[in-house]
Chain A
């Protein structure tokens, strides 16, 4: 029983980790909270759903379509919502407002296509559960956990080992200087959006499998936000740790308190975290130079 809860929590947490890292990537390069991330998840999950509907395709093609759709949506969003603001050197608050508006736009478009109905992904697994001795765990949990971890490892490799990752880190540190050093910041920002969007697409499909698919599914992005606050805004490692922690704690609380009160408890945990460690798990406390 307890192992089951733990695995369930980690699986949920790994989906949150996909959301939180996608969110943290954008925060890193542009220093704002991307509120269109949730709607990007929903829209790409829906695109994948309609693309495979009735074709009997498996989970992996579905995820690939969703990731591609997410990447494309994020790329378009960068152009429509953020490019001009970036070039105008407007304050980061405009990114924030623009991202909320983009979210409304995507959600509106999904609603036009799908109405406010619920959709179910086809059953991807022939055996819904795996028995390990006395423990019974759901196959989808295990698969989602594994795929999430692989995605995060790929992301870690990109950030740590490739030129793209180095450029992203440079821009996150100081965009103007990075540009002076010959980094094409527009291109790197575009690629960051592509990666973030792909992660959103995968997370969207997983959420759709877990909770069925509906136009306001993207609201679950809140979990990713909370995870990255706990982990420290902009820190990818922190986001993953925060997300796994949140997933486990939430699943335990869900068993103990039921659905309504667990939301409140997670919020309380976030607040306590912020009061005790405002910079998050992995964040460093930078002193402002006057």
Chain B
């Protein structure tokens, strides 16, 4: 069984069928690109897999465990990390504290430790800060730990968000349009970063992206979505030559 198995999921909002019969299998070390025009239901796929709302039909398995109906935070704890299309870092917290927030649910001290500086709390906080340092270094943000995210550039905020997702110790990482709003240099750096962390930490990545140069260069498999349906699956090579994909992107040739 694959690390992540999504089997025939459906989701609709009112009359809009956002996902119809979507399936995917992903293993450690693989990068799966999901592309498609706006409104194709790509983010809804992420939301359904990560438990923001449950699928109406179909099942989702993570590492052999059925997570279809689990609450979002439990799915995260089982090993799912994600970033958001429109960066959603926590305001009012520093870069380090933002990343720590993903460690806190794993941190092992009780409410007593929440009120008093017990030895256990100090030990756990130290462990958290060390992990923070490790993941912030992995994304190249180790020099900004005391900054507020709102004072950083867009590209830097993206990196902090990825570090925060890494802190969830994911088996599967969902990246929702990580290159949106970045300039070409930053896109190149990000492409390198995604490839590197996928090798370094050995998780599977699902990647929604509009910037084809990014997806095509690092994905092993590509799913093309249009109006909630999967219209093609294959390697970047195959997908680029698929007539249906060309039609969805460029329109029909008369």
Contacts and interface: CB of A to CB of B under 8 A. Distances in A.
Direct chain A–B contact by Cβ atoms under 8 Å: yes
Interface of A: 287, 290
A284 to B, nearest CB: 11
A287 B43 CA distance: 15
Interface in B86-138: none
Interface residues of B, number: 6
6 contacts: A287-B13, A287-B53, A290-B43, A290-B47, A290-B52, A290-B84
Contacts of A287: 13, 53
B251 to A, nearest CB: 28
Contacts of B13: 287
A290 B84 CA distance: 9
Interface string B41-65: 0010001000011000000000000
Nearest to A288: B52
A287 to B, nearest CB: 7
A280 B52 CA distance: 23
A85 to B, nearest CB: 18
B75 to A, nearest CB: 14
A290 B83 CA distance: 12
Contacts of B43: 290
A194 to B, nearest CB: 36
A290 B47 CA distance: 7
Interface in B1-40: 13
A7 B43 CA distance: 54
A287 B52 CA distance: 10
A279 to B, nearest CB: 16
A30 B190 CA distance: 41
A98 to B, nearest CB: 21
A290 B53 CA distance: 10
Nearest to B82: A290
A287 B18 CA distance: 14
A196 to B, nearest CB: 32
B206 to A, nearest CB: 15
A36 B13 CA distance: 38
B249 to A, nearest CB: 25
Enumerate the 6 nearest inter-chain pairs by beta-carbon distance, A residue then B residue, closest first: A290-B52, A290-B47, A287-B53, A287-B13, A290-B43, A290-B84
Contacts of B84: 290
A115 B53 CA distance: 55
Nearest to B47: A290
B132 to A, nearest CB: 25
A290 B72 CA distance: 12
Interface in B183-207: none
Contacts of A290: 43, 47, 52, 84
B54 to A, nearest CB: 11
B41 to A, nearest CB: 12
Nearest to B14: A287
Contacts of B53: 287
Contacts of B47: 290
Nearest to B72: A290
B50 to A, nearest CB: 9
B49 to A, nearest CB: 12
A254 B235 CA distance: 73
B9 to A, nearest CB: 16
Nearest to B85: A290
Nearest to B52: A290
A130 B120 CA distance: 75
A214 to B, nearest CB: 43
A287 B53 CA distance: 9
B53 to A, nearest CB: 7
Contacts of B52: 290
A287 B47 CA distance: 12
Nearest to B50: A290
Nearest to B84: A290
A217 B152 CA distance: 52
A290 B13 CA distance: 13
